[in-house]
Amino acid sequence: MNPQQSRLLVVDDNEMNRDMLARRLARSGYFVDVAENAKQLVQRVKESRMDLVLLDIEMPQISGFDALKALRNDYSPSQLPIIMVTARNQREDIVRALTLGANDYLTKPVDFPVALARIEAQLSQKRSESSGKPTIETAPRYRRYTPRYPFAADAEIVDLKSGTRVKGVSSDLSVAGCFVCTQESMEIGTRVHLTLKHKNRAVMMVALVRVLKPKIGMGLQALEVDSISNETLLQWVDDLRKSR
């Protein structure tokens, strides 16, 4: 499944936003279809094989949240990755979307290089699962975790509600988050403040615990990254990819 073979669906009630994003994705080599509401979304998914959906949260009549819930009744996150797109960079919306089964999120105005990276990260995950290779979610419970992009950074995780601190070392990194090897763990759904320190540079972000591996550590989903940390994070990820 390379970009030329991957079929994306862009769902947005704003025609200008919808068509602009679709054109840019098409120029990047993807086959792109569009829908302007939840009804068209369900119809497109049923009629055509979609590899990934970019779904706007704020839509009339049926919201993106309701559309997401409807799709998750029939398709798992690995079968149909869904990236939510919202103009409101609100933590509550992001957490709700991820809790309902979204794979990732983007905020408007869409940073296109970040969008491409996150789309490819989800398609790459789908390729791995389709080929039968173990991933973070599908590996046996106590099996040693093998990172896709090995990255050693000192990590400090702070539970934003209780203030509990957990320290560890990251073993994987992407623009969507990271996996951190720790002696302790937090519950899935816990919102945390994550600090990664690597070669005298630091990245700080608000994140959500998405995956737990007993005796190994936690997979964290990035929610909010400030602009300076985001530049550093993108550079780290770019260096990792170039080194492969």
3-state secondary structure 129-146: HHCCCCCCCCCCCCCCCC
Asked whether this chain's domains 7-130 and 153-243 adopt the same fold, the reply is no
pLDDT on residue 197: 95
- The percentage of residues in the chain with a pLDDT greater than 70, rounded to a whole number, is 88
pLDDT on residue 132: 56
pLDDT at 33 > cutoff 80:
yes
Q: What is the CATH number of domain 7-130?
A: 3.40.50.2300
pLDDT at 1 > cutoff 70:
no
Global pTM? 0.60
What H or E segment, with its residue span, contains residue 95? helix 91-99
Nearest-angstrom CA–CA distance, 181 and 215: 9
C-alpha distance from residue 180 to each of 25, 57, 136, 152, 210 (Å): 32, 30, 12, 9, 12
pLDDT at 206 > cutoff 80:
yes
Sequence spans of domains, the chain: 7-130, 153-243
User: Token pair 């996996």 is at which residue?
Assistant: 179
pLDDT at 242 > cutoff 80:
no
Nearest-angstrom CA–CA distance, 244 and 148: 10
Q: Of 8, 16, 95, which Cα lies nearest the Cα of 51?
A: 8
The CATH superfamily label for domain 153-243 reads predicted glycosyltransferase like domains (2.40.10.220)
User: How large is the average pLDDT for residues 6-28?
Assistant: 92
pLDDT at 143 > cutoff 50:
no
pLDDT on residue 138: 36
Which pLDDT tens digit goes with each residue over 172-188? 888 888 999 998 889 88
- Position 137 confidence tier, pLDDT thresholds 50, 70, 90: very low
pLDDT on residue 55: 95
